[in-house]
Amino acid sequence: MGAEPVVVSPADYASPLDVVGEHITVLASKEATRGWEVFLQEGPEGSGPPPHSHTWDECFFVLGGSVQFGYGDRALTAAAGTLVHIPAGTTHWFRFAPGGGRMLSVSGNGNASALFADIDREIPADAPDIPRLIAIARRNGLEMGA
């Protein structure tokens, strides 16, 4: 049997995961879509991951506010309406800019939803244990740093 269509209305959203201060709502997991994952990401000013890379593509569409992105030796501030695609294996980072922001992200054939769930479950947002955070990231296919 093939994949079934996925429809998720706001009333059906899962509770947001707290990923070290950023709130991530899994809209569609790879189990639901049989491949891609779709997330709503919201964060206060300054929240976001350090430089990292992984084996899956990632695409971000800024819905509100602005988000600072970095990849390679480039950095940019993406305003609402901007799309940023990060190919698999590219070291990148982002930070929600002053006032915070909101974006839709799509990840291809990766483990992002498991990563976010593990961080939400194992890392307290108010006092993150960085060595443990790095171990969780590696366990889920991320490499930290440049």
CA angle 100, 102, 103 (to 5 degrees): 140
Assigned domain for 104 exists: yes
- Can you give the pLDDT at residue 99? 95
| CATH code assigned at 121 | 2.60.120.10
Mean pLDDT in runs of 10 for the chain (146 residues)?
82 94 93 90 94 94 97 95 96 96 92 92 85 90 80
Count of domains in the chain?
1
- Can you give the pLDDT at residue 47? 92
φ, ψ at 127 (rounded to 5°) = -150, 70
φ, ψ at 4 (rounded to 5°) = -95, 150
Assigned domain for 5 exists: no
Distance between CA atoms of residues 103 and 125, nearest Å: 20
- Can you give the pLDDT at residue 79? 97
- Can you give the pLDDT at residue 96? 97
What 3-state class would DSSP assign to 113? helix
- Can you give the pLDDT at residue 2? 65
**Domain encompassing residue 88:** 19-144
